[in-house]
Amino acid sequence: MAEEIFDIVDERDRVIGQMARSQVHAEKRLHRAVHIFVFRTTGELLIHLRSPDKDEQPNTWTSSASGHLSAGEDYTETAHRELEEEIGLSGHLEFLHKFDACPETSYEFTALYRMVSDDEPTFDPVEITRGEYVTLEELKSRIAIDRAIFSTAFLVLFEWYCQFLES
């Protein structure tokens, strides 16, 4: 299987070239990703445990679904693709915010989307060890107890989301 090719971008998220995934990560080049928060109508957020085989931050809890933009893709297109590939869901996505690339997001400009669905997810066993729905209060409590069990990107996004809800 051919290695994924990503667009690499400048500090303003403008495409400046393409590069193989492994090289992008090794050189810490700026690139693009999406995260999706999937909520049940009762308000619980779906989180998943990343596979131990992931090249970055394995065995950490993260967003419902997430992934890199392939070369030539846009954020929304990728969000729909990753949602289907990782957890077998589809539906209306609401764009929430775009975060600047930084070390905590693994040098990824990251677009965050939200979806509400009571459909049962089907987890990709290559990407995801398991998933669960949790209340926001339970999630805040888990983070307070042990931040290290969560991906750094998820922490950035979730903390912004909690502030977003309060504003």
34: its two tokens: 């999406």
Look up the CATH number of the domain holding residue 145: 3.90.79.10
Inside any domain, residue 4: no
- Residue 42: the pLDDT is 97
Query: DSSP 3-state assignment of 167?
Result: coil
34, amino acid identity: V
Rounded to whole angstroms, the Cα distance separating 35 from 82 reads 9
Share of the chain above pLDDT 90, in %: 92
Inside any domain, residue 14: no
Number of structural domains in the chain: 1
- The Cα diameter of the chain in Å comes to 46
Inside any domain, residue 46: yes
53: its two tokens: 């085989």
Tell me which residue range forms the domain holding 117: 33-166
Burial classification of residue 64, based on how many CB atoms lie within 10 Å of its CB (0-12 exposed, 13-18 middle, 19 or more buried): buried
- Residue 122: the pLDDT is 97
Inside any domain, residue 40: yes
Structure confidence by residue, pLDDT tens digits, 26-76: 999 999 999 999 999 999 999 999 998 887 888 999 999 999 999 999 999
Inside any domain, residue 37: yes
- Residue 167: the pLDDT is 67
Inside any domain, residue 8: no
